[in-house]
């Protein structure tokens, strides 16, 4: 009864394109993109404007029905899988609202994809410096709500650092507008920073102003072989001291991970003659076309090599070599999928704690999961270590309760991260996957503060319930 | 009665050095540093540790007495002037808790001064890139609570961008610890970002982890003469496109401001032969000692000059010349004080809106305050325009109600900023000076959200009441 009345109201607000109730049409909205988890929903709402979104939210929450906001649905933690209630998808809100090249700002609807934003920034002779695999599908609103990371965080920060403001529809249908796009604005609490990473639990991001960076016109790439994580850290710090904010990427792979790529991805080449214990990929970039970064990088690395910190090194001398280096790095996810079942941890620690963290995690892995192999992909200078416990397919197939096994691995490595002052979710977020870890590992005072903020903005708990925060 | 009992408890918690009740001793704590406004307090509490601070807060708020947190008391908006209740000063909390050079992090008590932090960063071969005049007195906690800005915001961000975490004592005496110092940590709402700029209204910042940047080893400085703000903006954008994150400062002065400096500060020299309509100061810096930025800057500026964007330019060829340029810029505040009574607005707009904003403000000034002169000091690329309405001393002396006059000027220029999508408080904050402007100019929905967050964390309204948020 309630539903019928609601559908009528929603249909008036959203029009025929804005309301899906056919189960078949709803399927992609109630399932995560890797098809691992399915939920259910009364309807999927696809507003085309902020006004429609606000009116729809008001209609739904007035009836105490829950709302599940959804961007490109590329998350890894089931943050957009609904449990009931209605899904609000942002994909029809894809206007480039305003381009302000002289201020280095673009205002966009939340449903604009990262790839579309990259193209628009490019058109203006600049760049939007967030780089991750799902750019063709991931939407700006979702990237903000999950505070997305990627390979450019060292230089440019995460999504929260790249936005100059947001527009948010609150649970009561009110619209908060922080779209002024000002670099400096000390007029009270920043709701923009509060909703960044809030995973839709405080409101729906319907638009944002993003900050552009200058386009890079000269680059240098290197691939180093090292004998230890310690050495990689030391080399990383020397490169930082020498090049500072010119560093685009400092990516670490261990030998196991490099071997997966070589084994499974046709045409990929290891830049060095042997597969080293650790590989460190470096990219420098400068907007100045006159900057000759390659010889400068060569000089810094030569000194480190002389001291024995680096065992082998290749500095790209051509665009092709640079491309090969990135191709190797980007092949990691694909290679892992073919190689086996990798439980990929999204841990972070302070950079100084990385060696001890990996050593301790290795001990736990060898002890408790001897049938698995450890692999590492790390954004080194951010302290974001994707520690991977890799099980052969046939071993994994033999486990009767696979989710339990996954949980066991996660708990074990998360505990190691916690013991080293680290986090169990560096960039992937919490979603519905890690709420129990929030309850287990987060300082109760922090959690209490979060719950109080949540209650203040969403007193009935209707915005993406079940995500991010553990049930009270 | 209540007070007696409270003092006994506080004396036990804080010891004799931690509790001031003698009015003479309390005077500097109840008065702003420019001696413009005085309040009153029952006592001044000076905890030496977080545990003492937490216990003291609990003792005070349990009795529904208000707390007024105070850092270095260098604010311009009366944010630390108490109205009653007790002041909690952080000056005895000045431990450098931990130095983690390999992670580029320092953990400090909130009472450490900016100058002390600069020295420690220097000792590690790095820098803490927040630069402002009051560094010898301003404390880290206060800098966070006011989200301080300064001249380095373009490259490094404001204080909120330079912290990797905080420790906060809440109104109920609970301590929130976000001191992990992780670059990437997506485990829920960021309380660190919420208290940045909250002016002590949500809790007391008692410690922080700050991020260091590499030390700069090569620099270039230029002083340009330009005929218009438009030209300055265009030159600024070209310098950004060419040098990106190597720009340390892009500071704009108008002719009036340059004349004040030349007139009142002995030994200062205008780098150009004439005083131009607008002066643009540029500093570039790189951590690489091999970077020869000066000829690179020369090339970019030569091209702009050929197109007629720049009328005159000096590029520093010696450390002395570079020093002279900064000395000129740093003499602004002193010169203004001698020259007259300047009502200094802390407005910001998008960079693209700066020319129209200044033009409109000039019309208002000429029309409504013809006895004053307009002067401008702007952090150009941040859009932060300190528009100054400068009254001769004798004219100001003739106004019967000076505060009313000041308010009249502020309202007039704030309205112009608002009409251009801007803010009336870019970096100085709100304090007790601008709460009425919050009520007048801030979107009521934003304000409502702030009030709800405030109530969630401080239900009795005991943390710095009267600051930041207008009374409901």
B181 to chain A, minimum CA–CA distance in Å?
A: 7
Size of interface A-B (CB pairs under 8 A): 289
Residue of B nearest to A381 (CA): B103
Class of domain A218-331 (CATH, top level): alpha beta
> Chain B partners of A187 at a C-beta cutoff of 8 Å?
423-425, 430, 438, 442
DSSP B9-31: HHHHHH-GGGEE--HHHHGGGSB
What chain B residue is nearest to A213 in terms of C-alpha separation?
Answer: B244
Contact A181 B421 (CB under 8 A): yes
**Test mutation, B145, B147, B188, chain A, max A CBs within 10 A:** B188
* Tens-place pLDDT, residues B51-106: 999 999 999 999 999 999 999 999 999 999 998 899 999 999 999 999 999 999 99
Mean pLDDT in residue range B287-292: 80
Task: Judge whether B428 is closer than 8 Å to chain A, CB to CB.
Answer: yes
Q: Flag whether residue A429 sits within 8 Å of chain B, measured between CB atoms.
A: yes
| Residue B397 C-alpha, separation from nearest chain A C-alpha, in angstroms | 31
CA distance A30 to chain B (A): 23
The count of residues in chain B is 472
| Residues 140 through 159 of chain A touching chain B, CB cutoff 8 Å | 146-147, 149, 153-155, 157-158
The CATH 3.30.70.2740 domain(s) of chain B lie at: 340-419
**What residues are paired with B254 via a beta bridge?**
B278
Give the CA diameter of chain B: 77
pLDDT class for B472, splitting at 50, 70, 90?
A: low
Regions of chain A where pLDDT drops below 50: none
Q: State the pLDDT at residue A133.
A: 86
Average pLDDT over all residues of chain B = 96
Q: Does B355 touch chain A (CB under 8 A)?
A: no
What's the gap between Cα B14 and its chain centre? Answer: 31
pLDDT at B302 over 90: yes
Residue (of A355, A177, A180) closest to A252 by Cα position: A355
Q: Helices (DSSP H) in B281-371: which residue ranges?
A: 293-306, 319-330, 332-339, 354-368
What is the token pair recorded at B311? 């009328």
Binding-face residues of A in 254-283 toward B, CB within 8 A: none
- Unique residue bearing structure tokens 């004040």: B260
Question: Is A442 within 8 Å of B187 when comparing Cβ atoms?
Answer: yes
> Looking at residue A296, what is its pLDDT?
92
Q: Which two tokens stand for residue A448?
A: 């209490």
Q: What is the CATH number of domain B340-419?
A: 3.30.70.2740
Residue B444: pLDDT over 90: yes
Structure tokens at A413: 């490595």
State which residue of chain A sits closest to B125, comparing Cα positions.
Answer: A241
- Chain-chain contact of A422 with B180 (C-beta, under 8 angstroms): yes
Q: 380-419 in B: which are within 8 Å (CB) of A?
A: 381-384
The pLDDT assigned to A289 comes to 77
- CB distance B348–A103 less than 8 Å? no
Residues in chain A within 8 Å Cβ distance of B170? 445, 449
CATH class of B96-214: alpha beta
Inter-chain CB proximity B352 and A103 less than 8 Å: yes
CATH 3.30.43.10 fits B2-89, yes or no: yes
* Nearest CA-CA partner of B120 in B145, B144, B95: B95
Among A150-154, B185-189, B285-289, the range with the most confident prediction by mean pLDDT is B185-189
Give pLDDT, residue A2: 63
Alpha-carbon distance of B115 to A429, in angstroms, equals: 37
pLDDT of residue A472: 67
Cβ atoms within 10 Å of A227's Cβ, excluding its own? 14
- A175 in contact with chain B, both atoms CB, cutoff 8 A: yes
What's the rounded Cα separation, in Å, for the pair A271 and B72?
54
Q: Is the pLDDT of residue B351 over 80?
A: yes
Asked if A336 and A251 count as a contact pair (C-beta separation under 8 A), the reply is no
Question: What pLDDT was estimated at residue B1?
Answer: 54
- Comma-separated ranges of CATH 3.30.465.10 domains in chain A: 96-214
The arithmetic mean of pLDDT across residues B197-220, rounded, is 97
- Alpha carbon B267 to chain centroid distance? 28
Q: Measured between alpha carbons, how far is residue A243 from residues B74, B84, B93, B131, B273 in Å?
A: 35, 51, 35, 21, 36
Identity of the residue in A188, A350, A446 whose CB atom sits nearest the CB atom of B100? A350
CA distance B426 to A370: 57
Position B2 scores a pLDDT of: 62
The DSSP secondary structure of A162-177, one letter per residue, reads HEEEEEEE-TTS-EEE
CATH architecture of B218-330: 2-Layer Sandwich (3.30)
- Cβ contact (<8 Å) for A426 and B194? no
With beta carbons under 8 A apart, name residues in chain A contacting B442: 187-188
For B60-93, give the DSSP string: HHTTT--EEEESS---SS-TT--SSSEEEE-TT-
Which residue from B minimizes the CA distance to A293?
A: B291
Taking CA–CA distances from A155, the nearest residue in chain B reads B245
pLDDT at B104: 96
Nearest to A163 by CA among A119, A122, A93, A112: A112
Minimal C-alpha gap between B342 and chain A (Å): 21
Helices A229-243 and A293-306: angle between axes, nearest 10 degrees: 140
pLDDT at B151: 82
Look up tokens 């404390």; give the residue.
B139
Sheet order of strands, A67-70 included? A19-20, A43-45, A86-89, A67-70
Mean pLDDT value across residues B269-285: 96
* Residue ranges matching CATH 3.30.43.10 in chain B: 2-89
pLDDT at res. B150: 84
The reply to whether residue A453 touches residue B189, judged by beta carbons under 8 angstroms, is yes
Per-residue tokens: B332: 């602004």
To the nearest whole Å, the CA of A243 is away from the closest chain B CA by: 6
Mean pLDDT computed over B310-327: 95
The per-residue pLDDT for B3 is: 74
CATH 3.30.70.2190: which residues of chain B?
218-330
Q: Does A449 touch chain B (CB under 8 A)?
A: yes
Q: How far is B446 from chain A (nearest CA, A)?
A: 6
- pLDDT tens, residue by residue, B83-98: 889 999 999 999 999 9
Angle between helices B50-61 and B2-14 (to 10 degrees): 170
Question: Is some CB atom of chain B closer than 8 A to the CB atom of A373?
Answer: no
DSSP state letters, B137-172: T-BHHHHHHTT---TTHHHH--HHHHEEEEEEE-TT
Nearest CA-CA partner of A236 in A286, A293, A279: A279
Q: Is A103 on the interface with B (CB under 8 A)?
A: yes
What's the number of CA atoms in the CB half-sphere (13 Å) around residue B216?
19
d(CA A78, CA B137): 48
């Amino acid at each position: 009864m309630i539903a019928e009345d609601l559908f009528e109201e929603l249909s008036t607000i959203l029009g025929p394109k804005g309301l899906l109730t056919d189960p078949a049409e709803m399927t992609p909205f109630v399932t995560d993109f890797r098809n691992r988890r399915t939920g259910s929903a009364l309807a999927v709402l696809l507003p085309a404007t902020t006004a429609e979104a606000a009116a729809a939210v008001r209609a739904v929450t007035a009836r105490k029905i829950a709302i599940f906001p959804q961007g490109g649905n590329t998350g890894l933690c089931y943050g957009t899988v609904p449990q009931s209630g209605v899904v609000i998808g942002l994909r029809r809100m894809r206007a480039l609202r305003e381009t302000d090249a002289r201020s280095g700002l673009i205002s966009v609807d939340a449903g604009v994809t990262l790839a579309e934003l990259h193209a628009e920034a490019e058109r203006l002779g600049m760049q939007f410096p967030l780089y991750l695999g799902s750019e063709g599908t991931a939407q700006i609103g979702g990237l903000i709500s999950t505070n997305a990371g990627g390979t450019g965080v060292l230089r440019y920060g995460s999504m929260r650092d790249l936005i100059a403001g947001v527009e948010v529809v609150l649970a009561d249908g009110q619209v908060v507008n922080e779209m002024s796009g000002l670099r400096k604005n000390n007029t009270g609490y920043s709701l923009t920073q509060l909703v960044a990473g809030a995973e839709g639990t405080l409101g729906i991001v319907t638009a944002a102003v993003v900050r552009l960076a200058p386009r890079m016109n000269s680059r240098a790439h290197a691939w180093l072989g090292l004998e230890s994580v310690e050495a990689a850290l030391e080399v990383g710090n020397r490169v930082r001291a020498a090049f500072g904010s010119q560093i685009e990427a400092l990516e670490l792979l261990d030998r196991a991970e490099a071997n997966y790529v070589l084994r499974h991805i046709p045409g990929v080449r290891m830049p060095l003659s042997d597969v080293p214990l650790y590989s460190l990929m470096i990219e420098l970039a400068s907007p100045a076309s006159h900057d000759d970064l390659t010889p400068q990088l060569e000089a810094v690395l030569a000194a480190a090599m002389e001291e024995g910190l680096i065992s082998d090194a290749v500095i790209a001398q051509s665009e092709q070599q640079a491309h090969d280096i990135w191709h190797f790095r980007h092949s990691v996810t694909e290679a892992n999928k073919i190689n086996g079942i990798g439980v990929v941890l999204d841990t972070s620690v302070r950079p100084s704690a990385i060696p001890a963290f990996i050593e301790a995690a290795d001990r736990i892995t060898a002890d408790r999961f001897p049938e698995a192999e450890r692999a590492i992909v790390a954004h080194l200078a951010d302290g974001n270590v994707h520690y991977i416990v890799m099980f052969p397919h046939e071993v994994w197939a033999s486990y009767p309760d696979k989710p339990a096994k996954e949980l066991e691995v996660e708990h074990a490595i998360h505990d190691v991260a916690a013991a080293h002052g680290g986090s169990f979710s560096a960039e992937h977020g919490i979603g519905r996957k890690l709420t129990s870890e929030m309850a287990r590992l987060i300082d109760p005072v922090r959690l209490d503060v979060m719950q109080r903020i949540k209650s203040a903005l969403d007193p009935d708990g209707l915005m993406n319930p079940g995500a991010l925060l553990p049930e009270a």
